[in-house]
């Protein structure tokens, strides 16, 4: 009995089933904030593709673990592995980088820091600013120890006492803490914006059950749980898991603050 027709029929059924399991997802292709038109998006698994419209938008059918290839002659090619987060959100934001032409000739390297070329001990280290130099100069010992060293005429004793009494050391420590906090707040705000673009507010409102005005503060609440690191590694299922499981602790923390 010739089994070839039967095997061919089963293969067609298998391929048809694979197509039925795919879902339509939307996306947008940008270069920074500029929408890119006529970019090719190809699903390597289904061998179907599309191109972006004038607003950078596109739609394509995909399933978990499908590979999307995004290409344009003027930009670096991107390859994206579709995950559960993409299907849940039904949206993918894609940023393409412009191609840079590299010369084959040998280019003489100009060192910004000559200490690196000379092999000095501080080679490659970022120069300290004035605040950092001040903090390095101040004695980090307790006030009692600094006063005792001054009484014993130890080197730097009088200067250390002056920096403590004048409030210079305390002021600069506080200033450094404020600068670091501002940097951290800026990083968190940038991450919150990126995460909201990835999942869209409907995910937080409908799936996580968080009111729109709480979304940013809720993301900040989840940051100490390692959500940024997971996001950067593309582990979106774990990111979603954290977002879904920490709503109750978040509202408990708000109630505790209100009681105080």
Q: What is the pLDDT of residue 2?
A: 55
- For residue 260, the model assigns a pLDDT of 45
Per-residue b or e along 117-141, where b marks 16 or more CB atoms closer than 10 Å to that residue's CB: eeeeeeeeeeeeeeeeebeeebbee
Enter the pTM of the model. Answer: 0.38
pLDDT of residue 121: 54
Q: Residue 199: its pLDDT value, please?
A: 83
Question: What pLDDT was estimated at residue 17?
Answer: 47
Q: Give mean pLDDT in consecutive 10-residue pieces for the chain, a chain of 260 residues.
A: 52 49 92 91 92 93 94 91 92 90 57 56 62 68 73 69 74 78 85 87 88 89 90 89 88 67
Is residue 206 within 8 Å of residue 199, measured between CB atoms? no
State the pLDDT at residue 101: 62
The strand pair at 91-95 and 23-31 is best described as parallel
């Amino acid at each position: 009995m010739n089994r070839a027709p039967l095997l061919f029929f089963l293969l067609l059924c298998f391929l048809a089933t694979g197509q039925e399991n795919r879902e339509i997802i939307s996306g947008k292709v940008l270069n920074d904030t500029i929408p890119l038109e006529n970019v090719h998006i190809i699903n390597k698994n289904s061998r179907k593709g599309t191109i972006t419209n004038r607003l950078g938008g596109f739609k394509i059918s995909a399933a978990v673990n499908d590979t999307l290839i995004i290409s344009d002659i003027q930009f670096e090619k991107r390859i994206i592995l579709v995950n559960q987060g993409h299907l849940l959100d039904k949206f993918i934001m894609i940023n393409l980088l412009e191609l840079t032409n590299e010369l084959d000739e040998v280019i003489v390297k100009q060192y910004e820091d000559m200490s690196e070329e000379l092999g000095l001990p501080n080679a490659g280290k970022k120069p300290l600013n004035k605040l950092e130099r001040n903090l390095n100069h101040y004695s980090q010992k307790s006030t009692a120890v600094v006063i005792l060293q001054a009484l014993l005429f130890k080197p730097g004793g009088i200067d250390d006492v002056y920096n403590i009494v004048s409030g210079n050391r305390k002021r600069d420590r506080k200033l450094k803490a404020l600068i670091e906090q501002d940097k951290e707040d800026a990083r968190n705000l940038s991450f919150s914006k990126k995460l909201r673009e990835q999942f869209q507010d409907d995910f937080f409102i409908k799936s996580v059950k968080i009111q729109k005005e709480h979304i940013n503060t809720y993301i900040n609440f989840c940051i100490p749980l390692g959500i940024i690191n997971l996001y950067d590694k593309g582990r979106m299922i774990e990111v979603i898991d954290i977002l879904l499981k920490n709503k109750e602790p978040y509202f408990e923390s708000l109630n505790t603050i209100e009681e105080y």
